Structure 1
Amino acid sequence: MRHYIQIIAEIIEGLGVAILLLGVVYSLVDFFISKYKGKEDCYFRLRKTLGKFILLGLEVLIAADIIATVNTNPTLESVTILGIIVLIRTFLSLSIQVEIEGRFPWQKTSQNVFHKDSKE
């Protein structure tokens, strides 16, 4: 059973990496098309689109890490490493979300901390 759980964790990890790669390609293609069409907000669109893909990829990678850790014999070292990885990825996710939306997740939509003219 552990062997199959490890395979599933690796597949989910690969999916997370694939989401990140797809996000880079999609965001860059969208950026260059927008740039070619002369749109002014193409850089901010690139950052927002890429940020969303990174967020999704990080969430999938966190799930893969949790599954992989559950599969092993939990030791203090493995649980500590998982905790540190989850903390780092959660901090990255929070930072990216603030960058994309211009507010913290717990703030109301009308409280836009960083972007005065945000449209979303």
Structure 2
Amino acid sequence: MSYEETISDVVKVVEAVGAGIMVLGGLGAFMVFLPRALRSATTKGSYELLRRDLGRCILLGLEVLIVADIVRTIIVDPTIESVAVLGIIVLIRILLSFSLEVEMDGVWPWQRWRVAGRGDAVAPADGE
């Protein structure tokens, strides 16, 4: 087995992991959502939590898939055409990730620190 074939197999595994994160994470998010939605005490807000959990799974899976694309382009098929295709794929995935983050958080990433009462919002240090 050659070096390129080995790396190609590794890329396939990384792609499978990325897809698995999205599929299994999505199933897990729905499994957590159902009991929340059925209990009257937690029904309100369960949909927003489902969307947040699904968005996080998709984001993580996309980041893993970007790694696979980069490795494939750099090691397996380093041509100008493949680099251009990689650039387009990465740009599309970055835009998708960015829009998912805005959808989940409800604010632009550079305005997160302004959101009051959120545990994940971090204020910038003085002087920034």
Unpaired runs of 5+ residues, structure 2, are 121-128
1:43-80 deviation digits (Å, cap 9, x = unpaired): 10000000001000000000010011112342221111
- Distance in 1 (CA, whole Å) between partners of 2:110 and 2:72 is 30
TM-score, length-scaled by structure 1 = 0.88
Q: How does 1:45-84 map to 2 (within 5 A)?
A: 45-84=49-88
1:75-116 deviation digits (Å, cap 9, x = unpaired): 22111110000000000000001111222223342158xxxx
TM-score, length-scaled by structure 2 = 0.82
Deviating more after overlay: 11-20 vs 99-108? 99-108
Alpha carbons 1:16, 1:58 under 8 Å: kept: yes
CA 1:20–1:73: 2 relative to 1, 3 Å? closer
- Distance in 2 (CA, whole Å) between partners of 1:68 and 1:37 is 46
- The size of the alignment, in residue pairs, is 116
Unpaired runs of 5+ residues, structure 1, are none
- Name the counterpart of 1:33: 35
- Name the counterpart of 1:20: 22
- Distance in 1 (CA, whole Å) between partners of 2:110 and 2:63 is 18
Q: 2:85 is matched by which residue type in structure 1?
A: I
Q: RMSD over aligned Cα, in angstroms?
A: 1.8
